[in-house]
Amino acid sequence: MKKFKKEVRSYYERYYRDGDEAHLIDHADSVCDLALKINKDLDEKLIILASYLHDIYNASNRKIHNELAYEYVLKAEDDFLKTLNEKSLKEVAHAVLEHRASFKGEFYSKLSALISSADRGEPNLEEVVIRSMKFNNGNAQDVYEHIKDKYGSKGYAKYPDVYIEIFKDELESFQRKADSITVDEVLEMWNERIN
């Protein structure tokens, strides 16, 4: 499986080269690693493909990158996707479509829930602050508002059941910290990381 993962990573890496600092290939690596770690019974090849495909259009069109990736997968024009049967192709396509924290519907399959979960990352507020600061070019006020709006206890981020099952205690603590974070704490976390 390591060989397959390396080949997939190498092929899709070009799509991540022009991304913002929070959405480079290392983000896809993290999603893949966490998805494989928490996987219980899904095909690892599909997990690897969905992980590396989920943000391939993030650099070119952030607002609809998931829709563009979905269409790309369904066309099955690259060598990796051509090998999939129709059922697997649809599962991967829906996983990239449904990975966003703002996704409101029901997940198409367990693969969608798994990739969405892995895209959240483990509940670690410092890591979220660092990724958000990279994405927002170090604007602590924007990051503070983003964390409250997305990750707080009343935030819009959707957590799949599999995520809640695995990270229940950590998630509750994470959300409490997100609710109470200040702009100064955002800056402090950022400054500690870059110094």
pLDDT at 22 > cutoff 80:
no
Q: Quote the pLDDT of residue 7.
A: 97
CA distances from 24 to 9, 12, 155 (A): 12, 11, 25
Between 61 and 74, name the one with better pLDDT: 74
Q: How far is CA 46 from the centre of its chain?
A: 15
Query: Which of 182, 102, 113, 90 has its CA nearest to residue 145?
Result: 182
In percent, the amount of the chain with pLDDT more than 70 equals: 99
Q: Quote the pLDDT of residue 54.
A: 96
Which tokens in the block code for residue 151?
A: 């990750």
Domain ranges of the chain: 2-120, 125-194
Burial of 45 (0-12, 13-18, 19+ CB in 10 A): middle
SS (H, E, C) the chain: CHHHHHHHHHHHHHHHCCCCHHHCHHHHHHHHHHHHHHCCCCCHHHHHHHHHHCCCCCCCCHHHHHHHHHHHHHHCCCHHHHCCCHHHHHHHHHHHHCCCCCCCCCCCCHHHHHHHHHHHCCCCHHHHHHHHHHHCCCCHHHHHHHHHHHHCCCCCCCCCHHHHHHHHHHHHHHHHHHHHCCHHHHHHHHHHHHC
pLDDT tens figures, 28-70: 999 999 999 999 999 999 999 999 999 999 988 889 999 999 9
pLDDT at 178 > cutoff 80:
yes
pLDDT tens figures, 121-150: 999 999 999 989 988 888 999 999 999 999
Q: Quote the pLDDT of residue 135.
A: 83
Q: Please give the single-letter amino acid code of residue 90.
A: K
Tell me which architecture the domain covering 2-120 has in CATH.
Orthogonal Bundle (1.10)
pLDDT tens figures, 89-107: 999 999 999 999 889 899 9
pLDDT tens figures, 156-175: 988 999 999 999 999 999 99
Confidence of residue 111 (pLDDT cuts 50, 70, 90): very high
Q: Measure the CA–CA gap between 124 and 174, rounded to whole angstroms.
A: 7
Q: Quote the pLDDT of residue 23.
A: 85
pLDDT at 9 > cutoff 80:
yes
Confidence of residue 194 (pLDDT cuts 50, 70, 90): confident
